[in-house]
């Protein structure tokens, strides 16, 4: 756009100059080798411009005949290059659409036309062609493409190391290194890669903290030494105080060392962020010898920060039932039994009615939820949305790293099984 505007401005200026010279009085005379030419300055300037334009026009004509007509070698080479580029683009599209055989065929045809087409070489290398990968790696400008293709074809520690060596300033490269080290159980290396990733991509600090806590939690779970496990669990709790698996691990380690007050503080802080059943279970386990009434009082204190949360109400109901206070349990459950209650809440209500020796209201809908109740929240992968029976660093379905999150199940989805007491 700017180039066109500049050309228009220059053309307008030349036209103004020619118009100005055309109306000026006088003549321009040229005598050379017996030749005598006399003309107005404006015509002289116009003739000069025509003489200068002729070589440019001839150059364009030469280029068109040599390269665009296809009658000569350079033109045929250009046509082959364009055809190869089109084939390579189609091959990449087929690759992204998981049409591997078609992609391989398109790439091979493109390389038959132009042996060093980078896009076609990338597609072939991505599909496992080692010769194509080596040819890409040999070029300074395409070495990164080779590393990416090798990693995408065969993810692993070795291919990731090549990738980060060639692209040390790429957040995606360090993200790949983090995932591979985490899958391999190399916790310190995974943490170091995460540090690099965070430094290059500091936008989402909360997600990075959760990943750090997830790796530390996995390391604690895998540790065979209690001291090592406790140290990793503490690192997890420090990295993300609301990350439930890490907080639970840290609280258990503290409780094992008779530091129950500190463990309770960690659990309460995480509960303040978001109630969770595993936090409640860890909180209950802090004092296994307490009386039922003492546990009820402790759970009233726990639920105080989120009194209307379903987990708070169900934990209060469980503690109240344990203390023999069925009416208090029904009072806590009442808001959860309307609409489409969860099977767990319905089960607790049934226990409360049995303790009281009364039948449910015949118009109540919650007894149906004992079999067809709404599903409970569970661990689901943010990448593939698959359900997991418990938290783990690596998704058991798609092998994504640090993607399992506690997720509310959409309303109307039935519980997969009846929940027992």
pLDDT tens for 9-46 read: 777 776 676 666 666 666 666 677 777 667 766 666 67
Q: Which of 65-69, 364-368, 378-382 has the highest mean pLDDT?
A: 378-382
DSSP 377: P
Mean pLDDT of all residues belonging to the chain: 86
Mean pLDDT calculated for residue range 1-7: 72
For the chain, the straight-line distance linking the first and the last C-alpha, in angstroms and rounded, comes to 73
What is d(CA 157, CA 30) in angstroms, rounded to the nearest whole number? 80
Q: Is the pLDDT of residue 102 over 50?
A: yes
pLDDT in tens, 357-369: 999 888 888 888 8
Confidence class for position 380, pLDDT limits 50, 70, 90: very high
Measure the CA–CA gap between 137 and 38, rounded to whole angstroms.
Answer: 67
Q: Is the pLDDT of residue 76 over 70?
A: no
d(CA 72, CA 63): 11
- Residue 1's pLDDT band (boundaries 50, 70, 90)? low
* Residue 414 confidence class, pLDDT cut points 50, 70, 90: very low
Residue 104 to residue 333: CA distance in whole angstroms: 61
pLDDT reported for residue 211: 96
Q: Is the dihedral of CA 214, 215, 219, 222 positive or negative?
A: positive
Dist. CA 359–CA 379, nearest whole Å: 35
- Position 27 scores a pLDDT of 65
Task: Tell whether the model's pLDDT for residue 415 goes beyond 50.
Answer: no
Residue 314 makes CB contacts below 8 A (sequence gap 6+) with 332, 333, 336, 344, 345, 348
Pairwise CA distance, residues 421 & 412, whole Å: 23
> How many CB atoms are located within 10 Å of the residue 215 CB?
29
**The predicted structure's pLDDT at residue 84:** 83
Q: Identify the pLDDT of residue 374.
A: 79
Does the structure show a pLDDT above 70 at 74?
no
d(CA 84, CA 116): 10
Which tops the pLDDT comparison, 98 or 215?
215
Question: Which two structure tokens, joined as six digits, stand for 229?
Answer: 């496990």
Integer Cα distance of 168 and 218 in angstroms? 26
Residues 316-338 have pLDDT tens digits of 999 999 999 999 999 999 999 98
Across 8-12, 53-57, 400-404, which has the greatest mean pLDDT? 400-404
**Residue 242 pLDDT more than 90?**
yes
* Whole-number pLDDT of residue 417: 39
Q: Among 221-230, 234-243, 330-339, 403-412, name the one with the lowest average pLDDT.
A: 403-412
Which tens digits make up the pLDDT trace of 185-208?
999 999 999 999 999 998 889 999
Which of 45-59, 164-178, 237-251, 346-360 is least confident? Answer: 45-59
Q: What local confidence, expressed as pLDDT, does residue 55 receive?
A: 78
Residue located via tokens 């070795």? 158
Minimum mean pLDDT range among 143-157, 160-174, 194-208, 359-373:
359-373
């Amino acid at each position: 756009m700017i180039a066109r505007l500049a050309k228009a401005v220059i053309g307008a200026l030349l036209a103004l100059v020619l118009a100005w010279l055309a109306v000026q009085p006088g003549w321009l005379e040229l005598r050379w080798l017996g030749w005598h030419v006399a003309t107005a300055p404006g015509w002289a300037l116009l003739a000069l411009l025509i003489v200068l334009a002729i070589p440019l026009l001839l150059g364009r004509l030469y280029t068109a005949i040599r390269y665009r007509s296809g009658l000569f070698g350079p033109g045929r080479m250009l046509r082959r290059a364009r055809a190869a580029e089109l084939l390579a683009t189609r091959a990449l599209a087929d690759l992204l659409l998981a049409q591997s055989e078609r992609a391989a065929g398109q790439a091979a045809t493109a390389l038959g036309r132009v042996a060093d087409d980078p896009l076609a070489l990338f597609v072939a290398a991505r599909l496992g062609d080692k010769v194509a990968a080596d040819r890409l790696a040999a070029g300074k400008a395409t070495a990164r493409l080779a590393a990416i293709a090798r990693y995408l074809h065969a993810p692993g520690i070795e291919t990731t190391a090549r990738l980060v060596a060639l692209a040390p300033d790429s957040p995606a490269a360090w993200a790949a290194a983090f995932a591979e080290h985490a899958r391999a159980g190399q916790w310190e290396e995974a943490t170091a890669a995460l540090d690099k990733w965070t430094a290059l991509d500091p936008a989402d600090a909360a997600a990075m903290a959760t990943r750090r806590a997830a790796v530390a939690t996995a390391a604690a779970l895998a540790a065979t030494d209690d001291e090592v496990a406790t140290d990793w669990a503490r690192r997890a709790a420090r990295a993300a105080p609301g990350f439930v698996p890490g907080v639970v691990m840290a609280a258990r380690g503290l409780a094992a060392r008779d530091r129950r007050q500190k463990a309770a503080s960690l659990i309460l802080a995480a509960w303040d962020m978001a109630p969770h059943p595993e936090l409640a279970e860890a909180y209950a386990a802090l004092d296994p010898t307490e009386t039922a009434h003492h546990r009820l009082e402790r759970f009233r204190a726990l639920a105080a920060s989120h009194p209307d949360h379903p987990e708070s109400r169900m934990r209060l109901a469980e503690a109240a039932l344990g203390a023999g206070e069925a009416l208090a349990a029904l009072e806590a459950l009442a808001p959860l039994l309307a609409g489409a209650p969860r099977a767990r809440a319905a089960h607790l209500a049934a226990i409360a009615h049995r303790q009281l020796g009364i039948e449910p209201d015949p118009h109540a809908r919650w007894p149906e939820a004992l079999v067809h109740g709404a599903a409970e929240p569970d661990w689901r992968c943010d990448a593939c949305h698959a359900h997991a029976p418990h938290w783990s660093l690596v998704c058991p379905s798609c092998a994504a790293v640090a993607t399992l999150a506690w997720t509310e199940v959409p309303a109307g989805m039935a519980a997969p099984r009846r929940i027992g007491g």
